[in-house]
Amino acid sequence: MKKLLCIFVLSFISIAFAEDASNPYDLKLAITRNGDRFQLSASYVVPITACEAFAFITDYEGAKIFPGVVESQVLSRSGNRVRVSRLLEERILFIPFEMRSELEYTELSNRALLFEQLSGDNKYYKGSWRLLPDKGFTTLKYEAQIEPNSLMPSTVVEYFIKNMVRRQFEVMAEIVTIKGPSYARACK
């Protein structure tokens, strides 16, 4: 019994270290629930400038390269405000699940991107991206509140959000690291 417990503890520790080693972007993610709303906080660090990071997060139509994003189209631009239509698709328990939204983004050049759902399948969705430059690296910080409008049990929705969000941020960090320098032309 003691030997089995020791093997279990060692396995758990090695899994924890493997997860840490597979997180080269210092990805931090927190999802908390407050009633029907979820508070999402995420951040990751990438080796690009704040200008390149801003060009990346404001490439609205380029978002189609991310998992789950089927469509992303700019509807209008007025000053620093941009309206975007999005269609997301995921599977929950092998059932396809689509989520449409129209978002309004407010661009604060090279510092932040604020957004709010104007219409769509969520009851509420609002948040921001903040860019924190530091010696050749930029930390991208995401904060949002979301209240899904779903007939599915809240535990299933919570599982979906937690898994979809982690995968989205991992892919974003990887892609921005690879593609970030290609956004340098927008910074000249």
Domains in the chain: boundaries: 26-187
Tally of CB atoms within 10 A around 183: 21
Q: Is residue 115 predicted with pLDDT exceeding 80?
A: yes
CA separation, residue 153 to residues 7, 91, 150, 159 (Å): 36, 15, 8, 10
Mean of pLDDT values over 95-103: 86
pTM: 0.81
171 or 118, greater pLDDT: 118
Question: What is the CATH code of the structural domain delimited by 26-187?
Answer: 3.30.530.20
Q: Is residue 161 predicted with pLDDT exceeding 90?
A: no
Phi, psi of 146 (to 5 degrees): -135, 135
* CA–CA gap between residue 131 and residue 109 (Å, rounded): 10
Q: Is residue 17 predicted with pLDDT exceeding 70?
A: no
Token pair for 101? 């939204």
Question: How would you class 53 by CB atoms within 10 Å of its CB: exposed for 0-12, middle for 13-18, buried for 19 or more?
Answer: buried
Token pair for 49? 């400038």
Phi, psi of 87 (to 5 degrees): -130, 120
* CA–CA gap between residue 29 and residue 184 (Å, rounded): 28
- Residue 178's H or E segment, with its range, is helix 154-179
Q: Could you identify the residue written with the tokens 């530091």?
A: 134
Q: What is the DSSP letter of 151?
A: S
